[in-house]
């Protein structure tokens, strides 16, 4: 099943998306458990896709691909390295990523994201799948200069629009070995497979749920592969994950309507 959120002439709704051509069928209340339907539907072409979920929290895993840890000048961690992004960073497909006027370089990071389906705590890795609603795509946008200056990642990764998510949640995909590809203006920048993760989905859910209670709709971003790089005003970032789809977002510079590039030479952050 493909689960999403839409804005239609009738308001905002959770939907199931299926058919050819694709149709969005309205879900009553919420998509958790066994969804029920209202009977209303719209051609997908006639509505606007929103971020498929508004999470209570966004948990991210850093340095979860060895090649990415190496390109950032660090060692692959023995245990998952986790951090949080505010839920106010979440935006949906085709919504512009807004580059802060005082930040450069800002990097894309294409990632597979897991969506929690029910409250859970202290989940063993072997039972992680029981607590996952499905999987979507995310972009862990990062202001590298702020990351380097602060020595931690909250400001650099917490700006509004720095967590594009979508286009929908797929409930029946196996996350173990999916191709992940990031393109900027049609040029491939990242290409890897989820089988290259240092810590798989089960290990991540076990590690995170030992720290904090996970709630329905919470997002876990599972890390980015090698190939991260800068984005500028006028770019378009498209992240494709096999079996899920493509998340695409344009890029704009706040306070810079003509698109002049801010900042100097590219610097490296820590994740």
Do both 46 and 172 map to the same domain?
A: no
- Domain assignment present for 193: yes
- Domain assignment present for 176: yes
Contact 228, 190 (CB under 8 A): yes
- Domain assignment present for 266: no
Residues 6+ apart with CB under 8 A from 192: 65, 67, 179, 180, 225, 226, 227
pTM value is: 0.93
DSSP the chain: -EEEEEEETTEEEEEEEETTTTEEEEESS-SSSS--EEEEEEEGGGSEEE-S---S-EEEEES-BHHHHHHTT-PPPSS-EEEEE-GGGEE-TTPPEEE-TT---EEE-EEEEEEE-S-BSS--GGGGGGGEEEEEEEE--EEHHHHHHHSSSHHHHHSTT-EEEEEEEESS--GGG-EEEEEETTEEEEEEEGGGBSS-HHHHHHHHHHHS-B-TT-EEE----S--EEE-TT-EEEEEETTTEEEEEEEEETT-TT-PPPS-S------
- Look up the CATH number of the domain holding residue 23: 2.30.30.370
Do both 93 and 125 map to the same domain?
A: yes
- Domain assignment present for 26: yes
Give pLDDT, residue 71: 86
Do both 115 and 35 map to the same domain?
A: no
Do both 105 and 199 map to the same domain?
A: yes
Do both 165 and 102 map to the same domain?
A: yes
- Domain assignment present for 263: no
Radius of gyration of the chain (CA): 18
pLDDT tens digit at each of 271 positions of the chain:
999 999 999 999 999 999 999 999 999 999 999 999 999 999 999 999 999 999 999 999 999 998 898 888 778 899 999 999 999 999 999 999 999 999 999 999 999 999 999 999 999 999 999 999 999 999 999 999 999 999 999 999 999 999 999 999 999 999 999 999 999 999 999 999 999 999 999 999 999 999 999 999 999 999 999 999 999 999 999 999 999 999 999 999 987 544 433 333 333 334 4
What are the structure tokens assigned to 12, written together? 């905002």
Do both 89 and 116 map to the same domain?
A: yes
Do both 23 and 68 map to the same domain?
A: no
| Angle ∠(125,131,133) on CA atoms, nearest 5 | 130
The range of the structural domain enclosing residue 6 comes to 2-50
Number of structural domains in the chain: 2
Do both 162 and 224 map to the same domain?
A: yes
- Domain assignment present for 270: no
Do both 99 and 183 map to the same domain?
A: yes
Give the pairing of strands 245-253 and 97-99: parallel
Do both 27 and 124 map to the same domain?
A: no
Do both 87 and 141 map to the same domain?
A: yes
Give pLDDT, residue 269: 39
- Look up the CATH number of the domain holding residue 100: 3.90.850.10
Do both 96 and 197 map to the same domain?
A: yes
- Domain assignment present for 261: no
| Angle ∠(118,205,237) on CA atoms, nearest 5 | 95
Look-up: residue for tokens 């209670």? 213
- Domain assignment present for 220: yes
């Amino acid at each position: 099943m493909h689960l999403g959120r839409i804005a239609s002439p009738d308001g905002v709704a959770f939907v199931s998306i299926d058919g050819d051509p694709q149709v969005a069928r309205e879900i009553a209340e919420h998509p958790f458990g066994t969804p029920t339907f209202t009977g209303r539907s719209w051609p997908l072409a006639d509505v606007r896709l929103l971020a498929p979920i508004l999470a209570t929290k966004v948990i991210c895993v850093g340095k979860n691909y060895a090649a990415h840890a190496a390109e950032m000048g660090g060692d692959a961690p023995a245990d998952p390295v986790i951090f949080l992004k505010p839920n106010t960073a979440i935006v949906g497909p085709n919504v512009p990523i807004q580059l802060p006027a005082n930040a450069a370089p800002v990097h894309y990071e294409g990632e597979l994201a897991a969506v929690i389906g029910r409250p859970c705590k202290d989940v063993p890795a072997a039972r992680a799948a029981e607590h996952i609603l499905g999987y979507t795509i995310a972009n862990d946008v990062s202001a590298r200069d702020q990351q380097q200056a602060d020595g931690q990642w909250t400001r650099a990764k917490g700006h509004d629009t720095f967590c594009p998510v979508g286009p929908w949640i797929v409930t029946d995909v196996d996350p173990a070995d999916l191709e992940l590809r990031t393109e900027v203006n049609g040029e491939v920048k990242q290409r890897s497979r989820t089988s290259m993760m240092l810590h798989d989905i089960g290990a991540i859910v076990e590690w995170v749920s030992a720290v904090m209670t996970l709630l329905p709709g919470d997002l876990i971003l599972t890390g980015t592969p090698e190939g991260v790089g800068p984005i500028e005003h006028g770019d378009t970032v498209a992240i494709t994950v096999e079996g899920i789809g493509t998340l695409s977002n344009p890029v704009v510079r706040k306070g810079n309507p003509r698109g002049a590039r801010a900042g100097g030479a590219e610097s490296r952050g820590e994740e």
